[in-house]
Amino acid sequence: MSAARWGDVASYALFALLAAFFLLPFAWLGSLAIRTPAEVYLGAARFVPEAPTLDNFGAVLSDRAFLTYLWNGLKLSACGGALALALAIPAAYACSRIPFRGQGAVLVGLLAVQMISPLVILVPLYRWMSTLDLLNLDLSVIAVYGAIGMPLAVWLLKVTFDAIPVELEEAAQIDGASRWMILGRIVLPLARSGLASAFVLTMVMNWSQFLVPFILLERDQDWPISVAIFNFAGSVSASTTQLLAAACLIAVLPAVLVFVALQRMIVTALISGAVKG
């Protein structure tokens, strides 16, 4: 066998090892979620339960509150992603098309604020919102999501806009179109996949967000799923492990499925952003 073939064998051996590590948590979660309480105590002895049951999912989803948490999570992350995009589009367009002094500073500033932990800014934001009576409002959470997601969106969209030939816009300009019209009619339609990538990425980030809703939303019925499972985990015991597993799986699955379905597009956007950045 040639050296390259031996290399392939070694590669596959390494892949198998790594895949086992990355797969184990998902597989175990799935296994626990379809067990009866008695089978939870069998540990790894019976990875696929003798009588797989969907009762755990039924039990979790029949709780009306749980559906509310899922809906809250979806609502907050989608609106937050949309807001981040709305804030980012004009800035990304200016950074891509209008040369101006301080452009580098704006882009570096956007990169720098991404390094600030939401924890740092939430300390004062919580106080202001508390004073202004803005706690427990979806809008407050959405506004913070917009602010947290905007910098990444500007970077991704700038790279997308840079890739669109400027000649198309020049032609429209000669026809007397304003910049806003050009943006809306020509640039944005051509930037569809970049816009979609930025939206999905910010939305997935928001779905994972725990700190912001945990601090700004005090009422249980307003919580998104990420806060709800944390709270739920505090109330489970050994005999309800299978329910926690089912709840975790339900919380994780939407983000993973959306991301996996769209990963080719998103990874391409991230890679071109990484190369430019």
Partner 1 sequence: MTAARALRERPPGQGQPWPWLLPAVAVLALFYAIPVLDVVRLAFSDATLIAPATGLSLDAMRAILGDPALRKVLATTAIFVAVNVVALQLAGLSIALLIVRGERRGLKGMAAFRTLVLAAWVVPGIANGLIWGLLFDEAPYGTLNSLLGYAGLGPVAWLSDPRMALVSAVIANLWQGTAFSMIVFYAARRGIPPVLYEVAELDAAGPWRTFRSITLPLMRRAIAVNSVLVSVQTLNTFDSILALTGGGPGRATEVLALFTFNTVFYNLDLAGGAVLALLLFAAGMTLTLLIGWIGRDRGAS
Task: Provide the residue count of the chain.
Answer: 277
- Report the alpha-carbon distance of residue 45 to residue 56 in Å, rounded: 20
- The residue among 92, 88, 87, 143 whose CA lies nearest residue 118 is 143
Chosen residue from 1, 2, 45, 165 binding partner 1 by CB under 8 A:
45
- Regarding 2 and contact with partner 1 (CB under 8 A), the answer is no
Chosen residue from 7, 37, 58, 184 binding partner 1 by CB under 8 A:
7
- Regarding 120 and contact with partner 1 (CB under 8 A), the answer is yes
For the bound state, the minimum distance from the C-beta of residue 18 to partner 1, rounded and expressed in Å, comes to 7
For the bound state, the minimum distance from the C-beta of residue 161 to partner 1, rounded and expressed in Å, comes to 12
Buried residues in 97-110 as b, exposed as e (16+ CB within 10 A): beeeeeeeeebeeb
R_g of the chain, CA atoms, integer Å: 23
For the bound state, the minimum distance from the C-beta of residue 51 to partner 1, rounded and expressed in Å, comes to 17
Closest to partner 1 by CB, 57 or 126? 126
Number of residues lying near partner 1 (CB under 8 A): 98
Residues sharing a CB contact under 8 Å with residue 249, sequence separation 6 or more, in sequence order: 29, 30, 33, 57
- The residue among 88, 75, 80, 83 whose CA lies nearest residue 194 is 88
Question: Which residues from 174-193 bind partner 1, rule CB under 8 A?
Answer: 174-176, 179
Question: Which residues from 230-269 bind partner 1, rule CB under 8 A?
Answer: 230, 233, 238, 241, 244-245, 248, 251-252, 255-256, 259-260, 263, 267
- The residue among 154, 157, 142, 143 whose CA lies nearest residue 110 is 154
Closest to partner 1 by CB, 58 or 109? 109
For the bound state, the minimum distance from the C-beta of residue 145 to partner 1, rounded and expressed in Å, comes to 10
Chosen residue from 129, 144, 191, 195 binding partner 1 by CB under 8 A:
144
Which span (63-71, 114-122, 132-140, 187-195) binds partner 1, by CB under 8 A?
114-122
For the bound state, the minimum distance from the C-beta of residue 184 to partner 1, rounded and expressed in Å, comes to 13
Question: Which residues from 87-106 bind partner 1, rule CB under 8 A?
Answer: 87-88, 90-91, 93-94, 97-100, 103, 106
- Report the alpha-carbon distance of residue 157 to residue 167 in Å, rounded: 19
Closest to partner 1 by CB, 51 or 123? 123
For the bound state, the minimum distance from the C-beta of residue 60 to partner 1, rounded and expressed in Å, comes to 14
- The residue among 199, 196, 198, 173 whose CA lies nearest residue 186 is 173
Chosen residue from 60, 152, 154, 246 binding partner 1 by CB under 8 A:
154
With vertex at residue 146, the alpha carbon angle to CA 151 and CA 91, rounded to the nearest 5 degrees, is: 45
- Report the alpha-carbon distance of residue 107 to residue 109 in Å, rounded: 5
- The residue among 201, 185, 217, 164 whose CA lies nearest residue 82 is 201
- Regarding 208 and contact with partner 1 (CB under 8 A), the answer is yes
